[in-house]
Amino acid sequence: LKTLILNGPNLNLLGTRQPEVYGSTTLEMVEDLCRTHGSSIGFEVTCFQSNLEGALIDAIHSAKGEQDGLILNAGAYTHTSIALMDAIASVELPVVEVHLSNIHAREDFRHVSYIAKVAIGQICGFGPQGYTLALDALSAHLKNRQA
Ligand code: DQA
């Protein structure tokens, strides 16, 4: 099975960005964790980060037919991007939404997620471990679908 881990704006700064909110783990460490955990449960993991909405949309389009599912932390685009939501709806791939922080415990504007409307589910508040939980959730979803 193949999955693409997509990280959106400002997540390239993980480790130094507001560590009191997002912790001290870098994006490189998160991506290593995803590759290691992914391969232990049978996933070939590809990682991509961009600060550009269009680049994320292009990556979602390219995943169609290439990947079995996506794991997406869209950063602040989560709360604003109808275009990302439409891209996910267009490719018909299962998407697990991830946030390091518990967006529901934060400012009101973070409580709305356009991604949640087209995702199979959302994992938030567990820091970097959220990505491994998302891999497990995607794996279970794909297995259930085959059965
Ligand atoms: C985030 C939460 C978003 O509200 C924020 O804009 C981010 C990171 C998270 O992982 O907790 O950039 O997606």
pLDDT in tens, 107-137: 999 999 999 999 999 999 999 999 999 999 9
**Taking the model in full, what pTM does it have?**
0.97
pLDDT at 147 over 90: no
- Cα separation values, 61 from 25, 32, 87, 95, Å: 29, 24, 7, 13
Identify the domain containing residue 108 by its residue range: 2-146
- Fill in the amino acid letter for 147: A
Whole-number Å distance, alpha carbon 31 to ligand 1 midpoint, is 16
Q: What is the ipTM of this complex?
A: 0.99
Which pLDDT tens digit goes with each residue over 44-74? 999 999 999 999 999 999 999 999 999 999 9
At 118, which CATH number? 3.40.50.9100
Q: Label residue 25 left, alpha or beta by phi (over 0 means left) and psi (-120 to 50 means alpha).
A: beta
Name the binding residues for substrate.
73, 79, 86, 100-101, 110
